[in-house]
Structure 1
Amino acid sequence: MKKLTSLVIALLLVLTFSACGSSNSNSSSSNGTNSNSSSSTSTKTKTTKSKGKVLVAYYSATGSTKAVAETIANATGGDLFEIEPKEPYSEGDLDWTNSRSRVSVEHDDESKRDVPLKTVTPENFDNYDTVFIGYPIWWGIAAWPVDNFVKGNDFTNKTVIPFCTSSSSGLGDSGELLKEQAGTGNWQDGERFSSGASQDEVESWVKDLGI
């Protein structure tokens, strides 16, 4: 009888130790799963810092500046905004060889250069970090339809990069004059492109900017 009792007690001890070992194993396995899950979640929360938003604003009289602006927008992933006079310039208006044409009259009388725009401020303008401003060169300065866009917006904390198109004239002081009119913004040196500038030429310039 004593032997039977001892045998039963021994059997109970074996079963007890087996149960404890199984419990510890499950606990360890469970902790390992949670650790892997936590690591996976941590990895997913890592994000790559995105570049600031880019706006390419432009006034184009004949299409040359528009072509350059579109290339810049494509190269930077930026948004396009056309600066449009309420009263568009016709081909005759742009005939600078005619002393009676609109641009000639406006050139001779500076008070007539206040050109009302269809829209002065682009939608969500505050969200842009970099603003390109494009224009043709008229008599050595930026085409004046751009003036009201520059004067009518706040460029505080924005990088502003002017660019122009012309058949022969350079950028000159056009960028500096626009900067003075704006009164705000971190203005950079601009770039002049010929009226028939190639896409590669424009893209190369943008690449050098590191935008």
Structure 2
Amino acid sequence: MKKLLFIPFILLVLVSMAACGSSGDDSFVPDEEPGMSVDSVGNGRYLVLYSSRSGNTEKVARQISTILHCDILEVEPVTAYEEDYNAMLDRASEELAAIDRGNYPAIATSVDGFDKYDLIFIGYPIWYGRMATPMQAFLHEHASKLEGKRVALFATSGSSGISTSANEARGFCPQATFTETLLLTSSGLAQMESRVATWLEGLGANREEEEDEVSSLKVKITVGERTVTATMEDNVTAKAFLARLPLEVELSDYAGAEKIFYPSPKLSTEGAPRGGNPTAGSIMLYEPWGNVAIFYKSGSASNSLIPMGRVDGDGIEVFRESGSLRVKFER
């Protein structure tokens, strides 16, 4: 199986892009130009996964990767698709019917885990109104690894919408958090660069190469007209929380010592350190319940607690107010 490799990112010069013509079947994307053959794998908080028969979706994927300077990986079938367009259509139709019976085509791509990534981009062409079969097979095999992750879907098509394929993705990964999607049809491919840039800006995805490790773990917390800061831990659970920001929640008082809320879906805890003795200012996850707790008084030590961070300075005073609090967390 092909594994994701982490090597320094090589900036690629993208070829200029012409809009693809209609094949006569508006529900199928006719990727008519040959795809780029150079793999590009970089570093950062993002991963771009894509499936592309002969180029259109790949160009969008590489544009995202270039802007964000991030990892990119192609999801490839074990058996390459036919060059003959009609033969390709026949095979796609057969594979879609087989998936409906529970049989997925073999793919040559796997990823061991997604813990290092805050946001996963997943791109594919739309075939007969549906997600291309290699990407369906990939999501079927990797669904459990995407639990709790933030996922951004992008697709190319002749003229079909993205809603059916987006519902398929949510069906495969019900515990993932899905963002706003991006669809580029034949008529919109010429505006790919501006469309992608605008979409990424709306998602809050940026390169952030100059951000140092300490500032990247800082969080601004707004309670009414008051603002305090916190410094998060460098672990998988804290990073999963950071990936969801900005976030506005209602904090409930619990046991006269902490303010809590329940993230949905639950934050990832795989590989996170367990055990803690909370003091005033501690931010922790109680794993059995899945709730985040901000302690304004010392609590009991527990191996079920996962340290997530600490409110800076005397900022914990804003959480001592009785009752529930409406709070906004921002990076």
TM over 0.5, shorter chain: yes
- How far apart are residue 171 of structure 1 and its match? 0.8
Partner of 1:177: 168
Q: Normalising by the residue count of structure 1, what TM-score does the alignment of the two structures yield?
A: 0.66
Aligned residue among 114, 117, 140 for 2:107: 117
In the alignment, does 2:141 pair up with 1:141?
A: no
Aligned residue among 121, 140, 148 for 1:151: 140
Q: Deviations over 1:155-177 (max 9, x none)?
A: 12311011100121111221121
Amino acid at match of 2:65: A
More strand by share: 2
Aligned residue among 178, 181, 196 for 1:190: 181
Amino acid at match of 2:148: N
Amino acid at match of 1:81: L
More helix by share: 1
C-alpha distance in 2 between matches for 1:113 and 1:102: 14
Identity rate of aligned residues, in percent? 32
Q: Normalising by the residue count of structure 2, what TM-score does the alignment of the two structures yield?
A: 0.44
In the alignment, does 2:198 pair up with 1:207?
A: no
In the alignment, does 2:66 pair up with 1:77?
A: no
- Structure whose CA Rg is larger: 1
Contact 1:96 1:104 in 2 (8 A): no
Q: How many residues align?
A: 156
In the alignment, does 2:154 pair up with 1:160?
A: no
C-alpha distance in 2 between matches for 1:113 and 1:166: 24
In the alignment, does 2:96 pair up with 1:130?
A: no
Contact 2:75 2:138 in 1 (8 A): yes
- How far apart are residue 112 of structure 1 and its match? 8.0
C-alpha distance in 1 between matches for 2:124 and 2:150: 17
Partner of 2:95: 106
Structure 1 segments (4+ residues) deviating >3 Å: 107-113
Q: What stretches of structure 2 of length at least 5 have no aligned partner?
A: 1-43, 206-331
Higher relative contact order (CA 8 A, sep 6+): 1
Contact 2:81 2:88 in 1 (8 A): no
Q: Deviations over 1:62-112 (max 9, x none)?
A: 2100000011111222210100011111222x53796xx212333444348
Contact 1:175 1:189 in 2 (8 A): no
C-alpha distance in 1 between matches for 2:138 and 2:94: 21
